[in-house]
Amino acid sequence: MVTRAPTFGLPYQDNALVHITRRERFSAAHKLARPEWSVEQNLATFGKCSNPNWHGHNYELWVTVKGEPSPETGFVVDLSMVSRIINERVIHKLDHKNIDLDVDFMKGRLSSTENLAIAIWEQLTEPIAALGCSLHCIKVQETENNSVEYHGER
């Protein structure tokens, strides 16, 4: 017979997969432009986002992790630890920075929101796994109308 910690009146379900999300925010500048292209070609492809003097956004970042809730705490993970990792590995590197010039994990990448989501995933996968859960989704909202979700697929 397996003895479980009290679940405070709720039935405990083995193998219950739960997703939990932490939101963080940052402000950053970037420019969408390929250096080997002319100003005209960049403008035709990327529009005003290719402004030679950069532009900025107030981004929102959602990091969703998944795992089984602990029978002792009911938590998939301590969200304060998730927040600490996000802030150390991502936010402190991006907030009030130029993504193209200042952010080590974006060097050599076009700073589209799609590429930013993939790069953030790469920064968080291992430290999140070390907490005993796994990364499920990175969502980056660049404007109130545009957001990207990345689930680690290639």
- Active site residue ranges: 49, 96, 142
Contacts of 149 (CB under 8 A, 6+ apart): 117, 137, 138, 139
* CA-CA-CA-CA dihedral for 134, 137, 138, 143, to nearest 10: -160
Sheet containing 18-30: give its strands across.
97-98, 18-30, 55-67, 134-141, 147-150
Q: For residues 126 and 146, what is the distance between their CA atoms, to the nearest angstrom?
A: 28
Q: How far apart are the first and last CA of the chain?
A: 43
